[in-house]
Amino acid sequence: MPTTMDLFGKALEVKHAAAWARDFNITPETFSMAKKQGRLSPVLAGNIALELGEDPEHWVAIAALEAQKPSELLARLQSRAKVWRRR
């Protein structure tokens, strides 16, 4: 199951976090916080996906799911969403 940290790993293969921060006009601490939380925000994931030639809608959706607190509804959605997550 791909995560936004997988996407971030791909981004770091292209250039350093400081360069991404400069390109997006954000502070490098944004990426430090993302690592600490173990996820990217939907907006950041979408923009990184755009730059890497990935589907931004896919990554925004993954980031949105990662941002949710665990619940029965989230588990239900994740179990049914496995098909699109594998694409």
Q: Provide long-range contacts, Cβ within 8 A and 24+ apart, for 49-56.
A: 49/7, 51/11, 51/14, 51/23, 52/7, 52/10, 52/11, 52/14, 54/7, 54/10
Number of domains in the chain: 1
Residue 72 burial (CB count, 10 A): 7
Q: Which domain holds residue 49?
A: 4-85
What would the pLDDT profile of 57-82 be if each residue is shown by its tens digit? 999 999 998 998 878 877 887 777 66
The rounded percent of the chain whose pLDDT value lies above 90 is 72
How far, in Å, CA of 76 to CA of 27, rounded?
36
Mean pLDDT score of the chain, rounded to an integer? 90
- Residues 24/47, Cβ–Cβ less than 8 Å: yes
pLDDT at position 79: 77
Per-residue pLDDT band for 1 (boundaries 50, 70, 90) equals low
